Amino acid sequence: MKLNCFAYLFCLFVLFGCKKDNSKITDNPPPIDETDSLLLNCEKLPATPQPFGWKDSTINENKNINAFFFNPLNNYEIIYQVNGDIFGYNKIFLHNINTKKNLFLFNNSNYSAQINNKGWIIFNSIDNNIFKIKVNGDSLTQLTFNNTSIDPKWDYSNTTIYFFKKATLTSPSLLTQINTKGQELNSVPIEYANTAFAKKTSKLFYLKNYSNRITVFLKDIATNSETLIISSNKQSNAQQNDFFNLSIDNTDENMYWTNFDGIYKYSLSSSKIDTLYKNCGNSLFINPILSIRNNIMTFVHKKIKVINNNILFYNYKCYQLDLKTKEVKSIEIYP
């Protein structure tokens, strides 16, 4: 099973010693907090077994949902991503809450797919090209053909697409803007992927190396001015990004992200940082995604249980958090 942008968090916790064999536990799986409570007792994982490391196991890898979001055009539909199988793809499905039917949409790469207010999903394939597809599975269209395009994002108008173009021998890494037909509109140099756009104005949140720290900057595209928002307290390391899954809420007042330690919120007005969910060895909160229709954040709680001294058993549960009322609700896609 391919490590994706969410699963890299887990590898850090197990001290880079995890080893995948995709073994499946189907009989008598270990009990893991079957309630909807997020208050799992935090425990450190034991030292990595030697000489072969951990083996990974689960009941059904194609039901391990690691990210999801709602269809803005239909409250009874959920787009969700599963870890997939040994072929290494993240699989994206459309789930109808009423009918319980699931429609396969596409294979995704390491970066989150994103939907706009018209029901178009953009994503980058495993060979690093940008695609768009209607939420019902129609009109799959390839937009780039350079095999260097990742991390696509809708702009605030939901009409143009920005993505990170990897550096080549003849060009630096770029933030490139295209229209929905794939025609390039603009490109500017940028160091890292993982950008986010404001919902109401043409403002971009992006990462760059500043004083040897990965730092979030806010750029006003209209005026070409920029403001430093927050810096990591660690030296720059693109493989251990402290600001992954950057997202801005619908008020443009708060920024959210995830990293090795958990899920965080930053108030742009007060510069206050809040820890929403804190990770530990056996409990990871991953992949926060903000709704484009309301102030709802979806995320996944990944629980880890050690069995037989050398096997890590995984259990995934989906939740939504109302950012205004702080109400948390468990979302059951696979009961």
Specify if 303 maps to a domain: no
Specify if 47 maps to a domain: no
| Three-class SS state of 11 | helix
Specify if 20 maps to a domain: no
Range of the domain at 159: 64-298
DSSP string, 273-318: EEEEEE-BTTEEEEEEEE-SSSSEEEEEEEEEEEETTTEEEEEEEE
Contact between 130 and 163 under an 8 Å Cβ cutoff? The reply is: yes
Low-confidence ranges of the chain (pLDDT < 50): 1-36
Please name the residue that has the structure tokens 């459309």. 94
d(CA 313, CA 56): 6
Specify if 309 maps to a domain: no
Q: pTM (2 decimals)?
A: 0.85
d(CA 135, CA 104): 11
Task: Return the CATH number at 285.
Answer: 2.120.10.30
Q: What is the pLDDT of residue 335?
A: 59
Query: What's the domain count of the chain?
Result: 1
* pLDDT tens-digit map of 83-110: 866 666 799 999 999 999 999 999 998 8
Specify if 23 maps to a domain: no
Specify if 134 maps to a domain: yes
d(CA 93, CA 82): 8
Contact between 123 and 109 under an 8 Å Cβ cutoff? The reply is: yes
* pLDDT tens-digit map of 238-288: 556 789 999 999 999 999 999 989 999 999 999 999 999 999 999 999 999
Specify if 77 maps to a domain: yes
CA geometry: angle 188, 193, 198, nearest 5 deg: 75
Q: What is the pLDDT of residue 11?
A: 42
Q: What is the pLDDT of residue 239?
A: 53
Q: What is the pLDDT of residue 39?
A: 61
Q: What is the pLDDT of residue 57?
A: 81
